[in-house]
Structure 1
Amino acid sequence: MNDIMNELYWRGLIKNKVPGIENLLKKPTTMYIGFDPTSDSLHLGNLLPIIMLIHFQKKGHKSLALIGEATGFIGDPSGKKDKRIFLSKEILQKNTESIKNQILKLLKFYSEKIELLNNYDWIQNIYFIDFIREIGKHFPINYMISKDSVKKRIHNQKNGISFTEFSYSLIQGYDFLYLNQVKNCQLQIGGSDQWGNITTGIELIRKKTGKKAYGITFPLIIKPNGIKFGKSDKGKNIWLNEKKTSPYKFYQFWMNISDVEIEKYMRIYTFFSKEEIEDLILQHRKHPNKRLLQRKLANEITEWVHGKKISKKIMEITNVLFEKRNESYQSLDDKILISIYNHIPHMVISCEEFEKGIFLLDILKKSSFFSSKSEVNRALKVNSIHLNKILIKENILITKKNIIGKKYILFQFGKKEFFIIKIE
């Protein structure tokens, strides 16, 4: 069973570890990973802890997935510059149920039966005075403020850190103690920003029971802007819920990973063997223009998250939009046009509004891609707007002759962005 560490090392899934972990993992070990329900959906970064759960389970260890409904009332201050916005009990319960269903769906795909827990089940029964007496007494203030999550916030003169968030690490530490006593859990795993919280739990177990506990962290997935994927970063997040991030946009995220990063992502985000990945990397390096690794990864993860049926549709749409460059959109049948409309950004224009035609500037100003007509004009000047695959260089009047498939008009902005209009 010790080969789990070798597996995680070559995949690049180890950032920090407690010494001696290799000896522990020579025998079946119970481990857990926590999930924060401060949103109603998991995101791309949350796939990594699920992948870790599956790796451990496949190697014969016992994996526990913990949803932190109780800690969600506070919100983890780790990596946050400002104080958390508190969520109501009703919202947290709804989020918890939603995330629970997402986790179960993702685990079912790989036929893994992993126990799912909710820390509200045991924390709701604890009295505050008992907690600060029995748990708080073990941690000097100097120890608490040495944690990065606290230290950075203390020096934030604008907001600082509240006692509520200050206490978060102790409550997460208590989760580890509880699971250690009730489930014989000896290992906690989390993202690298969780190292302070994990070591608090390890220290609490040592002081309360005299036992040794362990921790591992994996690297955080960072967006191009240098910020980690997180629930509080609403703008450019990649969500697993198709209503928050369309399957098409989800698929394109993986397709657009650079050649510099793609080999790392293949090791991290798939369960292919070392030999299979090395063979795929070799093929990719011979013909990088074919984007073999990007395509393989996008297909694999989209099918995992959104299912085979949707994944197949997205691959078909991608083929039409990006691969069939010499074929006219006029030849597309209604079935594929409906599928494109359902999966990429779109807008409806009434037949009455379109009767005499609409100028390009007026249509694109209504789209989500441009904030003003001057921005559209700038795009026209640099030849970055296509209408049904035809380059547009001026503010033309768009009429019925531009319609494809009886009621659609398809725009492309630059190399990767698409927008479709339906006339009805």
Structure 2
Amino acid sequence: MSSVFETLKQRGFIAQVTHEETVRELLEKEKVTFYIGFDPTADSLHVGHFLQMVVMAHMQRAGHKPIAIIGGGTAMVGDPSGKTDMRRMMTREEIQSNANNFKKQLSNFIDFSDNKAIMVDNADWLLDLNYVKFLREVGVHFSVNRMLTAECFKSRLEKGLSFIEFNYMLMQSYDFLKLYQDHGCLLELGGDDQWSNILYGIELIRRVEGKDAYGMTFTLLTTSEGKKMGKTEKGALWLDPNKTPPYDFYQYWRNINDSDVIKCLKLLTFLPLSEIDELAKLKDQQINEAKKILAYEVTKLIHGEEEAGKAQSAAEALFVKGASSENMPTTEIGTEELANGINILDLLVKTKLAPSKGEGRRLIEQGGVSVNEEKVDKIDFMVKEEDFKDDEIIIKKGKKVYHKVKIIR
């Protein structure tokens, strides 16, 4: 069996491990069942989850068995980790709809056939728990004093931590115990912000079953400045093409900082490390070639080869005068909206090139907006129907973001 532990370590995934030598040996010599949890509070996974999906794929390819937990039960409570406010309560129907979307997205990377991987919903065992029985059998093993030292709680104590959220750690720990009992799951994986929750799950298994279990966290997807990656002006970088179109997805990776390219190639693609090491030798303008490869590979994994090819062609076409804008992100506008012209600030907000008129004003004042290659220097600039060539105009934001506006007649 291949050493997936070394693969994950060399590619920069691993942040912390509870028993490094034991885990390394288990992954080298045995077929290990492991799990990762997904919080179904949105209707699509985003690029932060994608890193976890890549880890699952590496593990499965090395012969190990993934369990993907959809947190249908824990989502009814909400994980306080990394949050400053309590989450909105969700209905069971909302959670189930989101979970169904997740399975489709996960299935692009994980083989669920012939029991090679399974997906479970912790609502199946959490929602029908007897509360007093749960407190007596699970809650008795948790020290409140020790829980309050956990990072996920410390950050919330000043603003206020609800009792319902305080239960989250017990519920996630119980998930690990339940999977250990029902599926022989020995290893919990998660982002490094889940370290405290993972440790308590391991402790619960030791106290209840008298057996060892293990945990491993991987690095969070951040830029070289330490900021969370995958945030855009339009919000999160979603895996659903209806929320983040393939072209926008491609352009995000094409435009990342030079210092983040090699790290992302290691974490978010399956390119051999020898090939990535060669790309790491590129300097200055040549690093753009590595960015193109990153953008294409990640877009291909999420949206398929055809969409990745379209996004790549559209991006390249922008640098060739007169080239087609066929695959460019597009906003449609009716002739009635153009009857008296439309103010550029309104158009920037309508196309989502700016989240607000204030941000649009700032972009124009800094010389960052062009219409059909003509720089816009006034915030009262009006776009009129006669500006449209073949019923289209191209708005450019900054140096690399292009958007087509098309008249619908």
What CA distance in whole angstroms lies between the structure 1 residues aligned with 2:195 and 2:92? 28
Q: Is 1:134–2:128 an aligned residue pair?
A: no
Distance 1:372 1:205, change over 3 A: closer
What CA distance in whole angstroms lies between the structure 2 residues aligned with 1:179 and 1:320? 51
After superposition, where does 1:209-358 map in structure 2 within 5 Å? 209-222=209-222, 228=228, 236-282=235-281, 284-285=282-283, 288-289=285-286, 291-321=288-318, 323-324=319-320, 327-328=321-322, 332=323, 336-340=324-328, 344-350=329-335, 354=338
Q: CA deviation at 1:387?
A: 2.5
Q: Which amino acid aligns with 2:10?
A: W
Q: CA deviation at 1:248?
A: 1.6
Distance 1:225 1:36, change over 3 A: farther
Give SS of 1:42's match.
coil
- For residues 283-309 of structure 1, the C-alpha deviation after alignment (integer angstroms, 9 at most, x for no partner) is x33x63461211111111111111222
Residue of structure 2 in register with 1:188 after alignment: 188
Q: Which amino acid aligns with 2:79?
A: D
Distance 1:65 1:234, change over 3 A: farther
Residue of structure 2 in register with 1:115 after alignment: 118
Residue of structure 1 in register with 2:31 after alignment: 28
Whether the 8 Å CA contact 2:314–2:326 is kept in 1: the answer is no
Whether the 8 Å CA contact 1:229–1:237 is kept in 2: the answer is no
Residue of structure 1 in register with 2:166 after alignment: 166
Give SS of 1:185's match.
coil
Q: Which amino acid aligns with 2:95?
A: L
Whether the 8 Å CA contact 1:2–1:23 is kept in 2: the answer is no
Q: CA deviation at 1:238?
A: 0.7
Distance 1:360 1:66, change over 3 A: closer
- For residues 237-268 of structure 1, the C-alpha deviation after alignment (integer angstroms, 9 at most, x for no partner) is 11111222222211111111111111111111
Whether the 8 Å CA contact 2:224–2:260 is kept in 1: the answer is no
Structure 1 window deviating more from structure 2 (207-216 vs 356-365): it is 356-365
After superposition, where does 1:99-110 map in structure 2 within 5 Å? 99-107=102-110
Match of 1:148 among 151, 155, 175: 151
What CA distance in whole angstroms lies between the structure 2 residues aligned with 1:367 and 1:88? 32
Distance 1:415 1:108, change over 3 A: farther
What CA distance in whole angstroms lies between the structure 2 residues aligned with 1:29 and 1:103? 20
Distance 1:361 1:138, change over 3 A: closer
Q: CA deviation at 1:420?
A: 2.2
- For residues 20-79 of structure 1, the C-alpha deviation after alignment (integer angstroms, 9 at most, x for no partner) is 322322322111111111111100000111111111111122221111111111111111
* Unmatched segments (≥5 aa) in structure 1: none
Q: CA deviation at 1:311?
A: 1.6
Whether the 8 Å CA contact 2:191–2:218 is kept in 1: the answer is yes
* Aligned-pair identity (%): 36
Q: Which amino acid aligns with 2:195?
A: W
What CA distance in whole angstroms lies between the structure 2 residues aligned with 1:192 and 1:409? 45
Give SS of 2:189's match.
strand
Structure 1 window deviating more from structure 2 (391-400 vs 201-210): it is 391-400
What CA distance in whole angstroms lies between the structure 2 residues aligned with 1:165 and 1:368? 35
TM-score (norm 1): 0.86
Distance 1:70 1:381, change over 3 A: closer
Q: Which amino acid aligns with 1:71?
A: T
- For residues 321-341 of structure 1, the C-alpha deviation after alignment (integer angstroms, 9 at most, x for no partner) is 2x21xx13xxx5xxx44432x
Q: Which amino acid aligns with 1:236?
A: G
What CA distance in whole angstroms lies between the structure 2 residues aligned with 1:234 and 1:319? 23
Structure 1 window deviating more from structure 2 (383-392 vs 71-80): it is 383-392
Q: CA deviation at 1:188?
A: 0.5
Q: Which amino acid aligns with 2:168?
A: Y
Q: Which amino acid aligns with 2:36?
A: I
Q: Which amino acid aligns with 1:245?
A: T
Give SS of 2:109's match.
helix
Distance 1:38 1:399, change over 3 A: closer
Structure 1 window deviating more from structure 2 (146-155 vs 65-74): it is 146-155
Whether the 8 Å CA contact 1:30–1:187 is kept in 2: the answer is yes
Whether the 8 Å CA contact 1:57–1:112 is kept in 2: the answer is no
Residue of structure 1 in register with 2:392 after alignment: 408
Give SS of 1:39's match.
coil
Distance 1:109 1:237, change over 3 A: farther
After superposition, where does 1:48-87 map in structure 2 within 5 Å? 48-87=51-90
TM-score (norm 2): 0.89
What CA distance in whole angstroms lies between the structure 2 residues aligned with 1:84 and 1:364? 31
What CA distance in whole angstroms lies between the structure 2 residues aligned with 1:248 and 1:320? 12
Structure 1 window deviating more from structure 2 (69-78 vs 121-130): it is 121-130
Structure 1 window deviating more from structure 2 (391-400 vs 96-105): it is 391-400
